[in-house]
Structure 1
Amino acid sequence: MAQGTIGDSEFDRDTAVTARAGEPGVFDARLSEGWTILRAVNGGYLLALTARALGAVLPHPDPFTVTAHYLTPSEPGPAVVRTEVIRTGRTMSTGSARLLQTDAEGREVERLRVTASYGDLAALPDDVRTTAKPFAIPPYEHCPGGEDAPGGLPVISGSTEIAKRLDLRLDPATAGWALGTPSGRGEMRAWFGLADGRDADPLSLLLTVDALPPTAFEMGLQGWVPTVELTTHIRCRPAPGPLRVGIVTRNLAGGFLEEDAEVWDAQDRLVAQSRQLARVLLG
């Protein structure tokens, strides 16, 4: 695989949007099969693509907070993003976007609705006052990828297209589910990067927060865990190098669970946080 760089990588090509002539704020896109999980298009990838369209109409360069409601499952193929500028200010701007596809009867079906505020991460002050600390995880070389486990790690290797595009190394303490011995704890931790070596940027962080196996797997559950709502906060531009992602679930009830994610960069900075509500579909 060719070395990827920011602006010239598979991720950038697959999240590209094209402004539609004569329709301001409307963009055409194609959802790539390369970011699917058992034919369902990954929610983080959809979020990044939609955020790219919003970034084209808002005057500020970086997503600060992005909230998405997933309405219907997306499929690989043509899509349209319809954006609206809600407010623009000196330091922040806010907009909304709808991601739609056409069904077999020729009707537009809304897949995703997003509200986001953008700003300039480079303009933020350097002052940091925090009690947050990077979570413990073994060194990269001691964490298994899909090629390291007997039979491969499901959902990391072989069973999904997205796995081929990620360099994902699970903390062995949260990989028991893949070997039939889940810990029973709602935790998932991993080193994360893109397989072509593209460094992370604010847009790709929207993919990162939703790219690990579900915490439900380590709780002894199997099945699809579709996202209902996902809110992501981008805190600063990540430094080059692999990211560390940790996700925790504290409450699974009524067939729904929350997942709280933290993303840390190579300089031990908290670069992204997210919370999502997801359904647990057993079977």
Structure 2
Amino acid sequence: MSVHSEIKKITTETLRKMKFDKEKITMLTAYDFTTAKMVDAGGVDAILVGDSASNVMAGYETTLPITLDQMIYHAQCVIRGVDRALVVVDLPFGSYQSNPEKALESAVRIMKESEAHAIKLEGGKEVEKSIKKIVNAGIPVMGHLGLTPQSIYQFGTYKVRAKEEEEAEKLISDAKLLEELGCFSVVLEKIPAALAKKVTDSVSIPTIGIGAGPHCDGQVLVYHDMVGMNKDFSPKFLRRYLDLYTEITGAVSQYVKDVKSTDFPNQEESY
């Protein structure tokens, strides 16, 4: 049984203690009330209201189009379904990069309007001033290094990051900087497992991996991918726990047949 399974509310401090106690942290995304309720009831430690909503909820190719207002809406829906998990919300592209004042304003809006528990943003040294400003205002910040999807047009690819020594060194120093700035945790996306271990060992804040191997302090996956709603997305790091795409399309197809054949509704299902 997990050391922290009896905790009524997970906080940023709980995650720090979990790293110290060497208990793995679990995180999944959620973007709506019903999903959040199920994910929370399943016992995850943290829920990420990710800008991946841009892909899985809105059908965009990248995370770039989603707006701050839309992120706040998704966060409001999730918060209403959660009793225990820590809820972290992504600051969307364009809401924090240009200047620290705008970054703080965006973070404050998320915290006030959604009642979420923390925000997440991408980048290291280049967003140092924004992080400092948000942390100084008392808002918990989760960092995000490695493959940072908001910079996809700069990278030009979703391939594994930090394979070269120079980028790997920058990633380690960025992780240490995020810790110094007061971030309570950092997501490491799509980097070599050996590098993720190095980062995890060199900072006292928890690392949460996605495609970063088994040595991180925790793991995060996109809920829709994990339960198999997306059949076209199959990166190496993804483990599918269900095949909901097949289950749901099968159920819909059966419903269509039953209605067409007048089998539904039957006598018991009628008033």
Relative to the length of structure 1, the TM-score reads: 0.26
TM-score w.r.t. the length of structure 2 is 0.27
Give the structure with higher Rg (CA).
2
Going by fraction, where is helix more abundant, 1 or 2? 2
Greater RCO (CA < 8 Å, at least 6 residues apart):
1
